[in-house]
Amino acid sequence: MKALEGVKVLDFTHVQSGPTCTQLLGFFGADVIKVERPGVGDATRKQLVDVEGADSLYFTMLNHNKRSLTLNTKNETGKEVLERLIRECDIMVENFAPGALDRMGFTWERIQELNPRMILASIKGFGPGPYADCKVYENVAQCAGGSASTTGFLDGPPVVTGAQIGDSGTGLHLALGIVTALYQREQTGRGQKVSAAMQDGVLNLCRVKLRDQQRLASGPLQEYSQFGEGVPFEDATPRAGNDSGGGQPGRILKCKGWETDKNAYTYFITQAAVWKNVCDVIGKPEWKEDENYATPKARLTRLTEVFEAVEQWTMTKTKFEVMDICNPMNIPVGPILSMKEIAEEPSLRETGTIVEVDHPQRGKYLTVGCPIKLSDSPVDVTRSPLLGEHTEEVLAGFLGYSSSEIDEIKASGAV
């Protein structure tokens, strides 16, 4: 049995943010029915195509464990089918542009009339306010959520991160809102509206930067490299390069082979509790008792000198040797892993974090499995559906239409 077995999800999502959420619900065992426009489908099916004639990896990697039903929800018969789906399902998830669901005729009030137990979960770029009507993609959210202004180096422009914190991050937030609403429905018998704005999701993940914004009122941020370098602070949280976001200074340092390998680097943290171990490892035992280096406060103005000394040592080791030497001494370090290394890492295959999936149009490909492991609800990753692959199955088996009714629906052009 799976955790969400029996839970029926009407999946009206597209692109990345919403599909991330419904894929997670599918991983946990919900029956996810993805509604797509006939003949068109989710726009990502045909974006960044790498195998001609096959659904793109963009689509396949976000739509596992779902069924695909084509339905034109602007067609009268299509609307009737959608009403039946709303009556039948527990959860409806959508990330249309603001107002699109209302324009289709399915306001929150109408949905509640059809099914008072329905949980309607929506992702929009912004919450209520001046930008509520805007269409939003990943990088817009990263910029508006405070991530871009605080990412990058002090002397460079704002930078967006490769982690899709606006799309996949907000999808994750929404999934938590949905299961929380499901839990509350157990007590109240009522559904509710769950909203997650991408700006809010990004800001939630950037909270340490809002923390620093407020700390600026008490003086310079001493753990930022610019403090030790004597660069004055302005009135907003600055970009901090690869400085650690917490109280334990850290930086990305070169490792053996860096001249030719773009990823021969390690993240090295000089955690106060193991400072003496750091001194031993890098061959600076005299720093253990030297008052200029012995305390975290004393080191704050010398971080560049300290990390240069650490780097002299890391450059003599590969990033994996650094890991092997430092871990037993409780020194936190992290190798900079390339996507190639991650794709080939056996331990990630063993845990199901990376999964190989077979697809009729493209053959075998890799995807990211469920990043959350439940001991009583193992995840079986099944391939993404072809466009409309389950239309008949859903109309007949899920909604109970007879074969003559299905013929009529088809004749109307609704599916």
Q: Indicate the residue type of 284.
A: K
Q: How far is the CB of 8 from ligand CAO (least distance, A)?
A: 18
Asked if residue 200 binds ligand CAO (CB under 6 A), the reply is no
Asked if residue 100 binds ligand CAO (CB under 6 A), the reply is yes
Residues 154-173 that bind ligand CAO (CB under 6 A): 167
Asked if residue 136 binds ligand CAO (CB under 6 A), the reply is yes
Q: How far is the CB of 166 from ligand CAO (least distance, A)?
A: 7
Position of minimal CB gap to ligand CAO: 97
Burial of 119 (0-12, 13-18, 19+ CB in 10 A): buried
Q: How far is the CB of 159 from ligand CAO (least distance, A)?
A: 18
Asked if residue 96 binds ligand CAO (CB under 6 A), the reply is yes
275: Cβ contacts below 8 Å, ≥ 6 apart: 288, 294, 296
Can you tell me the distance from the alpha carbon of 355 to that of 348, in angstroms, rounded to the nearest whole number? 8
Q: How far is the CB of 171 from ligand CAO (least distance, A)?
A: 9
Among 93, 121, 123, 333, binds ligand CAO (CB under 6 A): 123
Q: Which is nearer to ligand CAO, 135 or 373 (CB)?
A: 135
6: Cβ contacts below 8 Å, ≥ 6 apart: 31
Q: In 3D, which of 115, 67, 94, 71 has the Cα closest to residue 398?
A: 67
Identify which range of 66-74, 226-234, 308-316, 377-385 contacts ligand CAO by CB under 6 A.
Answer: 66-74
Number of chain residues interacting with ligand CAO (CB under 6 A): 24
Asked if residue 17 binds ligand CAO (CB under 6 A), the reply is yes
Q: In 3D, which of 236, 216, 240, 224 has the Cα closest to residue 155?
A: 240
| SS3 (DSSP) at 354 | strand
Q: Which is nearer to ligand CAO, 73 or 225 (CB)?
A: 73
Q: How far is CA 414 from CA 67, 137, 391, 396, in A?
A: 17, 29, 11, 15
The CA-to-CA distance between both ends of the chain, in Å, stands at 32
Asked if residue 58 binds ligand CAO (CB under 6 A), the reply is no
Residues involved in catalysis: 167
Q: Which is nearer to ligand CAO, 37 or 254 (CB)?
A: 37
Structure tokens that stand for 226 in this block? 């610019």
Asked if residue 72 binds ligand CAO (CB under 6 A), the reply is yes
Q: Which is nearer to ligand CAO, 81 or 355 (CB)?
A: 81
Asked if residue 74 binds ligand CAO (CB under 6 A), the reply is yes
Q: Which is nearer to ligand CAO, 104 or 143 (CB)?
A: 104
Query: What single string gives the DSSP state of each residue in 51-83?
Result: STTS--HHHHTT-TT-EEEE--TTSHHHHHHHH
Can you tell me the distance from the alpha carbon of 18 to that of 11, in angstroms, rounded to the nearest whole number? 8
Asked if residue 138 binds ligand CAO (CB under 6 A), the reply is yes
Checking 243-248 for CB contacts under 8 A at 24+ apart, the result is 244/269, 245/208, 245/209, 246/208, 247/223, 248/272, 248/332
Identify which range of 133-141, 184-192, 248-256, 282-290 contacts ligand CAO by CB under 6 A.
Answer: 133-141
Footprint of ligand CAO (CB under 6 A): 15-18, 35, 37, 71-74, 95-97, 100, 103-104, 123-125, 135-138, 167
